[in-house]
Amino acid sequence: KSKRPLNHIEWSDKCTKAFEELKTALTQAPILQTPNFTEPFILEIDACDYGLGAILSQEYDNQLFVIAYASRTQTAAERNYFPTEKEALAIYWATKHFRPYLEGTMIYIRSDCRALQWLLDTKDSSGRLARWAISLSAFNIVDIKYKPGKINTNCDTLSRYPLSPHLTLLNTTSSPPLLNLWDNCTLLDDIRTEQYNDARLKPIVDILSNPTHPLHHKFHPPFTLINGILYRYRSPSNNTHQRLAGMQHLLVIPKSLQSQILSWTHDHPTAGHGGREKTLYRLTNRVYWNTMRQDLIQYIRSCPSCQKYKYINQSLNAPLQMHIVQEPWHTIGVDIMGPFPVTQRQKQYLLVVVDYFTRWVELFPLRTTTSSDIAHILVNEIICRWGCPTYILSDNGPQFVSELFTNICSSLGIRNKTTSNYHPQTNMTERMNRNLKPMIAQYAQENAHSWDRHLSKLALSIRTSVNETTGDTPAYLNFGRDPKLPLDLLITNPGNNEPLLP
């Protein structure tokens, strides 16, 4: 039998008031303060059978200041841990919870478990203790000191949830049923009352409800009274094969109840926060008021939940940057294809150069794709033949962003542009590569190692083919004339009046 005296406390309004004042004082200045990151932090933790508690504080100028409180219940699996593991779990959880405060600062941990002092220095830990020790190594934990439970009552209180510890779920909450539309529902009565009070609907109700009214027989609007409630007659569709969805008589909603109807047909779980067309379909098949569409659009636009969770269907792409090409070889695009099967000439890659103005293409098979190889072809084969371009557009390959390639472009006054990451279609050369791949595959299908044999002929084919964008051939745009092809020599019969060379 316990010899501890029993304390009988008679709870009164004064006790409740004192308790609330105590809670307020613990969560306000001067006890609760903002963190001072020039001073070390003190992390006091505790774990009971079913909960964890932690207090983050600092001590300087001979005063102890609280920075934050934290507590949570343990999961069903965590309640099976040994007491020492639960205390270690409290340290792991508290450092993770207060990470924004603790990272990069000195930390002193206080616990009422003396066995935790080995956690930082142990070399033989395994399983979850090893994982926790690895996680704690990221923090500057100076020391873990033992603090007896008698003086660690603040964290002990936080760790003890007010429910019994044997319960499996401690965070159960009761919520009202979602589908309670018709409990004590007086919607029709409210609509009838508000229709008589509505300044626009009351004259219509008075005319229809009074047979002796002088306008009763002359007034034939699409409205009718059913059980004293105003409805609007819905004319059938002209399409006989289309079903009449909804009701034949639409309930007329007065101004004062329109927002409530909008809430029920949009916000309620049975409506699911539908979009404009879905919600409008619900309304137009059941109720009526003359500004329904405009009110619905404005209501959905101002719905906080829809703005927070719905997808944005509008395009969020930034405006396109116009790149104006003024003359031939003003802007060129370069790209590297491959690796392909190694040919007899040890070629494995293909450098593709395209002129943006004329769509003229140059093809160069390569053994390697170093920056010196690319720079050599750029100077000797492109610049020496066509002149210096103003812009060179390429991807972010190491050959095109290297110091050698950048210095050559800078010394020649060429501005180097690169495509956006994961958006290669910015470079026109990628579209040319799409055309080249099947052409090369078709002529190298018998011998894959001979793909470089017909590159010059394929280049001629592209240069003399009409481009769908420009409407003309690259050769004509580049030279002002169409070169003669082997086909022209076969089908052309030269006349006798053609001048002969002397």
- Rounded Cα gap, residues 362 and 386, in angstroms: 11
Burial group, residue 253, by CB count within 10 angstroms (0-12, 13-18, 19+): buried
In a domain, 173, yes or no: no
The answer to whether residue 341 sits within a structural domain is yes
Amino acid type, 157: T
Q: Given the structure tokens 């609760």, which residue do they identify?
A: 32
The CATH number of the domain holding residue 301 is: 1.10.340.70
18-to-207, 405, 428 alpha-carbon distances in Å: 66, 77, 76
Cβ-contact 393, 387 below 8 angstroms: no
pLDDT for 403 equals: 92
Spatial contact of 250 and 236, defined as CB atoms under 8 Å apart? no
Q: Are the C-beta atoms of residues 323 and 427 closer than 8 Å to each other?
A: no
> Do 34 and 153 reside in the same domain of the chain?
yes
- Closest to 36 (Cα-Cα) out of 17, 56, 13: 56
- Based on the fold, state whether residues 298 and 340 are members of the same structural domain: no
Using CA atoms, how far apart are residues 466 and 461, in angstroms rounded to an integer? 10
Same-domain pairing of 130 and 52: yes
Domain that holds residue 115: 30-160
pTM for the model:
0.42
Q: According to the model, what pLDDT value does residue 1 have?
A: 45
Assess if residue 169 is contained within a domain.
no
Token pair for 471: 């409407």
390, 361 in Cβ contact below 8 A? Answer: no
Element (H, E) at 95: helix 83-97
Tell me the C-alpha to C-alpha distance, in Å, between residue 225 and each of 214, 221, 233. Answer: 17, 12, 10
Residue 307: CB atoms within 10 Å: 11
Which pLDDT does position 352 carry in this prediction?
94
pLDDT at 173: 39
Task: Give pLDDT, residue 374.
Answer: 93
What integer pLDDT is reported at residue 283 of this predicted model?
Answer: 87
> What is the distance between the alpha carbons of residues 104 and 49, in angstroms, rounded to a whole number?
32
Neighbours of 254 (CB within 10 A): 22
Written as six digits, the tokens of 84 are: 């020492």
Nearest-angstrom CA–CA distance, 360 and 406: 24
Q: What is the pLDDT of residue 119?
A: 61
- Domain for residue 468, yes or no? yes
State the Cα–Cα distance between residues 233 and 244, nearest whole angstrom: 13
Same domain, yes or no, for 388 and 464? yes
Tell me, yes or no, whether 65 and 149 share the same domain.
yes
Same domain, 372 and 439: yes
Pick left, alpha or beta for residue 208 (phi over 0 → left; psi -120 to 50 → alpha; otherwise beta).
alpha
Q: Three-state DSSP class for 414?
A: coil
* 4 within domain boundaries: no
| Residue 172: inside a domain | no
Bridge partners of residue 363, in order along the sequence: 352
Task: Give pLDDT, residue 220.
Answer: 59
Q: What is the pLDDT of residues 246-296, one digit of tens each?
A: 677 888 899 988 888 898 888 888 788 888 888 888 888 888 898 999 999
pLDDT of residue 474: 92
Which residues of the chain fall short of a pLDDT of 70? Answer: 1-8, 114-126, 149, 152, 161-186, 216-221, 236-246, 315-320, 492-502
- pLDDT tens-place string over residues 391-412: 999 998 899 999 999 999 999 9
Find the angle CA(19)-CA(25)-CA(31) to the nearest 5 degrees.
Answer: 140
Together in a domain, 194 and 134 = no
Q: What is the pLDDT of residue 376?
A: 93
DSSP string, 235-283: PPPS-TTS---S-SEEEEPPGGGHHHHHHHHHTSTTTTS--HHHHHHHH
Cα distance between residue 429 and residue 331, in whole Å: 12
Residue 284's identity, in one-letter code, is T
Count up the domains in the chain and report the number: 3
Same domain, 366 and 453: yes
Instruction: Say yes or no: 339 and 228 in one domain.
Output: no
Exposure letters 436-466 (e unless 16+ CB within 10 A, then b):
beeebeebbeeeeeebbebbeebbbebbbee
Report the distance separating Cα 386 and Cα 414, nearest Å: 14
**What is the rounded distance in angstroms from the CA atom of residue 49 to the CA atom of residue 70?**
17
Query: Is residue 403 a part of any domain in this protein?
Result: yes
Residue 254, preceding peptide bond in cis (omega within 30° of 0): no
Walk across the sheet containing 391-394 and list its strands: 361-366, 349-355, 331-337, 391-394, 415-418
Residues 84 and 131 in one domain: yes
Identify whether residues 156 and 204 lie together within a single domain: no
Do 128 and 197 share a domain, yes or no?
no
- The residue written with tokens 């709870």 in the block is 11
User: Could you give the CA distance from residue 277 to residue 300 in angstroms, rounded to a whole number?
Assistant: 11
Nearest to 338 by CA among 436, 459, 425: 436
The structure tokens listed for 480 are 């002002």
Q: Which residue has the tokens 């002397």?
A: 502
Angle at the Cα of 178 from the Cα atoms of 177 and 183, rounded to 5 degrees:
75
Lookup: tokens for 419: 């495509």
